[in-house]
């Protein structure tokens, strides 16, 4: 199962590296720039938006692995239990990757998938925090915050998703989508 | 390639097992990965410092950077000059704002005779948004160490929870795990202030039930080994529990978490307890809480006689 590299495409390795690098940059942007903006209503989760978009384009495998790696990195940089956001991000990446095939069908699919991923991810963070640590939010607050994150994600998707699709096409040398 | 194949299912199962293993290890053994965390903190800290240094001025003047590459004619050059000057103005405003904050912090530190290390907030929280922490750009090399008190010009911010060479993580007072020894203004009655109520509310528990906590009472830190005494915490807004062995009250902190920018880490404590000196002068009755914020103008100095009613209210019951 670790034969990712020798399965006839070195493209995959490059995809993993680019995905993880993008998410790491998004993570720093999240804590140093977005978190300081004080957006009305809640927060935009840049990392979840990018992770969902990457999973939607590249599939569950890339989504789960890059989500896990960046999640561990984010956990190391935080003060909560190690592995907590790795778990959530890994699951979000995998789940969004499963609807990869439907993404070509309609514009609404990426919007719904990325918005839904932000809502589910934010709720997941709140849930894992209240299980493994002290509850920082009440249930109602968590739901409101998740919905706000979803709205921001939907607003951001039209900019992020086409850009990442273009990057992915260039990386893969139009192996996948270009064939259609 | 890789829709929902057997391989991707195996990978997700392996990753989930890995995640749960990490969680279990870290949860059971406490801070098991301190070394790795330290490395990540110091590596990210440098990047975050750079990012916030670059993005802060740009964010303010992004609209004035119109045509950067076109010097062809006079109009464009003038527009360029204009943008440059406007950027300079914005920078000046930023510098002025910073120096005012620094001055306010200095003033508070002098009142309490604390030695403070000033630092800027370079990252807020973490990726999940559930950590009530901020990262600041001062570390062990500047004298910052774990458990030191962090304040800003308004009052108590939190305590240092971990420090690397050039950055430190500050646990805010509103963190659910944070407990701060506090006492009521003008008394020596001890209580504890805990977080967990969101960013703009703290819970105060007074250990002595025979004393009446009142709306409008103000709190300062009690002080202990690493914790300096006398730092303003907040003002009581609501007394919630009047039965039982202790009294709890809701406290509105002086520091607003959303606008944290310049903070100071107290690295040297005064020889004596500074008492209530650091609280803003206030002689208005405790009744008029809504006007309390308006009366809190800096620079009123020693006068503080608003000329209103009932100045004899001193002992709080």
pLDDT at B163: 87
Domain positions in chain B are 34-169
For residue range A9-40, what is the model confidence (pLDDT) as tens digits? 566 788 888 889 999 999 888 888 887 776 77
ipTM for the whole complex:
0.71
pLDDT at B308: 38
pLDDT at B282: 64
DSSP states of B183-223 as a string?
EETTS--EEEEE--S-TT-EEEEES-TTSPP-TT-EEEE--
The residues that bridge with B202 in the sheet, in sequence order, are B251
Rounded to whole angstroms, what are the CA distances from B47 to A11, A119, B132, B135, B149?
29, 29, 21, 12, 25
Asked whether A92 and A121 are in contact (CB, 8 A), the reply is yes
Domain positions in chain A are 11-172
Diameter of chain A measured on Cα atoms:
50
Task: Give the mutation candidate from A5, A41, A61, A128 for the B interface (greatest B CB count, under 10 A).
Answer: A61
Q: Which among A77, A94, A125 has CB closest to B44?
A: A77
pLDDT at B1: 46
* A84 Cβ neighbours under 8 A, 6+ residues apart: A75, A125, A128, A129, A132, B23, B128
State the Cα–Cα distance between residues B122 and B139, nearest whole angstrom.
Answer: 12
Burial class (CB in 10 A: 0-12, 13-18, 19+), B17: exposed
CA distance A93 to chain B (A): 10
Indicate the pTM of the whole model.
0.66
For residue range B19-51, what is the model confidence (pLDDT) as tens digits? 888 888 877 766 555 667 777 777 777 788 877
CATH code given to domain A11-172: 1.10.1760.20
- Show residues of chain A in contact with B168, CB under 8 Å: none
pLDDT at A150: 92
Task: Give the mutation candidate from B31, B43, B45, B127 for the A interface (greatest A CB count, under 10 A).
Answer: B127
pLDDT at B246: 63
State the Cα–Cα distance between residues B77 and B72, nearest whole angstrom.
Answer: 7
pLDDT at A89: 92
State the Cα–Cα distance between residues B288 and B311, nearest whole angstrom.
Answer: 12
- Show residues of chain B in contact with A76, CB under 8 Å: 33, 36-37, 40-41
Low pLDDT (below 50) residues in chain A = 1-8, 176-180
For A69, which residue in chain B has the nearest alpha carbon? B15
Is the CA virtual torsion A48, A49, A54, A57 positive or negative?
positive
* B237 Cβ neighbours under 8 A, 6+ residues apart: B201, B215, B249, B250, B251, B252, B289
Token digits of residue B192: 């504890």
Using DSSP's 3-state secondary structure scheme, residue B165 falls into coil
Task: Give the mutation candidate from A13, A29, A77, A153 for the B interface (greatest B CB count, under 10 A).
Answer: A77
- Show residues of chain B in contact with A133, CB under 8 Å: 130, 176-177
Q: Which among B1, B12, B196 has CB closest to A94?
A: B12
Strand extents, DSSP E, chain B = 115-124, 133-136, 149-152, 155-163, 168-172, 179-184, 190-194, 202-206, 218-221, 232-241, 247-253, 262-268
Per-residue pLDDT of chain B in tens (317 residues, 90 and over written 9): 445 578 888 888 888 888 888 888 877 766 555 667 777 777 777 788 877 777 665 544 443 444 444 445 677 778 888 888 888 888 888 888 888 888 888 888 888 788 888 898 888 877 777 778 888 988 888 888 888 889 888 888 998 988 888 889 898 888 888 888 888 887 778 888 888 777 788 888 887 777 777 788 888 888 776 678 888 898 988 887 666 666 788 889 988 887 788 899 988 877 777 777 777 776 544 444 444 444 344 433 333 333 333 333 333 33
């Amino acid at each position: 199962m670790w034969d990712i590299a020798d399965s006839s495409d070195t493209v995959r390795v490059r995809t993993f590296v680019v995905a993880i690098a993008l998410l790491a940059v998004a993570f720093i942007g999240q804590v140093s720039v977005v978190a300081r903006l004080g957006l009305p209503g809640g927060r935009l989760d840049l990392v979840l938006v990018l992770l969902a978009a990457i999973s939607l384009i590249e599939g569950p495998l890339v989504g789960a692995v890059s989500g896990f790696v960046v999640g561990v990195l984010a956990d190391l940089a935080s003060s909560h239990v190690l592995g907590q956001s790795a778990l959530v991000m890994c699951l979000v990446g995998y789940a969004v990757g499963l609807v990869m095939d439907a993404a070509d069908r309609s514009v609404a699919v990426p919007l719904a998938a990325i918005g839904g991923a932000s809502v589910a991810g934010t709720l997941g963070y709140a849930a894992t925090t209240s299980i493994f640590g002290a509850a920082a939010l009440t249930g109602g607050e968590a739901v409101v915050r998740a919905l706000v994150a979803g709205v921001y994600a939907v607003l951001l998707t039209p900019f992020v998703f086409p850009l990442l699709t273009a990057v992915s096409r260039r990386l893969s040398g139009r192996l996948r989508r270009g064939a259609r | 390639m890789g829709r929902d194949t057997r391989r991707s299912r195996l990978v997700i199962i392996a990753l989930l097992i890995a995640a749960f293993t990490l969680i279990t290890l870290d949860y059971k053994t406490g801070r098991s990965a301190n070394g790795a965390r330290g490395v990540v903190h110091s590596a990210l800290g440098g990047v975050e410092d750079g990012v916030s240094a670059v993005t802060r001025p740009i964010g303010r003047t992004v609209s004035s950077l119109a045509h950067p590459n076109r010097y062809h004619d006079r109009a464009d050059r003038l527009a360029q000059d204009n943008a440059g000057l406007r950027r300079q103005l914005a920078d000046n405003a930023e510098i002025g704002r910073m120096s005012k904050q620094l001055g306010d912090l200095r003033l508070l530190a002098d009142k309490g005779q604390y030695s403070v290390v000033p630092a800027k907030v370079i990252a807020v929280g973490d990726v999940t948004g559930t950590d009530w922490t901020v990262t600041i750009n001062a570390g062990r090399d500047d004298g910052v160490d774990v458990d030191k008190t962090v304040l800003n010009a308004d009052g108590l911010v939190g305590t240092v929870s971990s420090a690397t060479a050039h950055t430190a993580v500050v646990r805010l007072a509103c963190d659910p795990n944070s407990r701060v020894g506090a006492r009521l203004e003008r008394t020596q009655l001890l209580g504890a202030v805990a977080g967990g109520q969101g960013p703009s509310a703290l819970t105060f528990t007074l250990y002595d039930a025979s004393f009446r906590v009142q709306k409008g009472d103000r709190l300062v830190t009690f002080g202990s080994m690493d914790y300096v005494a006398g730092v303003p915490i907040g003002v009581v807004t609501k007394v919630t529990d009047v039965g039982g062995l202790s009294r709890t009250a809701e406290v509105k902190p002086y520091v607003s978490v959303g606008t944290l920018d310049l903070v100071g880490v107290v690295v040297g404590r005064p020889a004596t307890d500074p008492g209530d000196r650091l609280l803003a002068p206030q002689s208005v009755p405790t009744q008029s809480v809504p006007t309390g914020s308006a009366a809190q103008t800096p620079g009123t100095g020693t006068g503080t006689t608003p000329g209103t009613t009932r100045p004899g209210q001193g002992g709080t019951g």
